Amino acid sequence: MLVDTHCHLHFDAFDPDREAVIQRALDFGVKSLVNVGTDPKTNRQALELSRTYPFMAATAGLHPHHAHEISEEGFKDFETFVTQNPPVAIGEIGLDYVKSQSPPETQKTTFARMLDLAARRNLPVIVHSREAFEDTLAILRSEARGKLRGVMHCFSYDRDALKKVLDLGFLVSFTCNVTFKNASALLEVARTAPLDRIMLETDSPYLAPQIYRGKRNEPCCLTHLADFLSEERGIERTVLEETTTRTAAEFFGLSLPS
């Protein structure tokens, strides 16, 4: 049994064949999925999927790409939504200094407010950080203060950064990009990260594994990531699967099928 801890099945990339994608995931042993919201629209869509499929969970967040789009009234609406429809986590939230149109200061303010909300609601956080590690770490240290549980998703930094994230008490999750031909440095981090502090994700529809590079990713590809990473770490696939599944269930409070 595998858990895809970060996917976006509510995105329009899956509109043509969502049912088939879901069934494929189940057939391949991905028995639980966490659909991650990125803005008010996708937060609602993720919630609806979780209500339709009992093996799915939903988060609510504001991706740094959308940090400049939310007004003060929007923050209030977001908190009302989270209060009325408790997600399994706040996210994804964070900083992106590569593609986001939001100014860094706007991103940082929004990120801090989302962390504060998560702390007040006693919810874990899913953190997006792209070429913004030092600022991400500084805000997490300032806002978390031991009050927050979190995961840095699609972890893409080095071993020193990994240690700093783990020292916060956070987890990290790895995606199929560790299979890329040019990902040797990242793969070394994934090989050596403590097994009980990692989770697996696809970030579907993005980051398909090397064998499907350039195509749409989907949750069934998590099995390829599990096979690849267990071989690279020199452990049985069942050990990696059981450990990461247990970590995911505890982190998100998931009820998994027996």
Residue 256: predicted pLDDT: 78
Instruction: Report the sign of the C-alpha dihedral through residues 69, 114, 34, 194, in that order.
Output: positive
d(C-alpha 5, C-alpha 253), whole Å:
12
Residue 146: predicted pLDDT: 78
d(C-alpha 117, C-alpha 44), whole Å:
18
pLDDT tens digits for 38-60?
Answer: 999 999 999 999 999 999 999 99
Instruction: Report the sign of the C-alpha dihedral through residues 91, 165, 123, 226, in that order.
Output: positive
Where do the domains of the chain lie, and which CATH numbers do they carry? 2-252 (3.20.20.140)
Q: 143 is written with which tokens?
A: 């806002």
Q: How far apart are the first and last CA of the chain?
A: 9
Q: How much is the pTM?
A: 0.97
Would you say residue 258 has pLDDT above 70?
Answer: no
Closest alpha carbon to 69 in 45, 91, 41: 41
pLDDT tens digits for 87-107?
Answer: 999 999 999 999 889 999 999
Q: How confident is the model at residue 257 (pLDDT cuts 50, 70, 90)?
A: confident
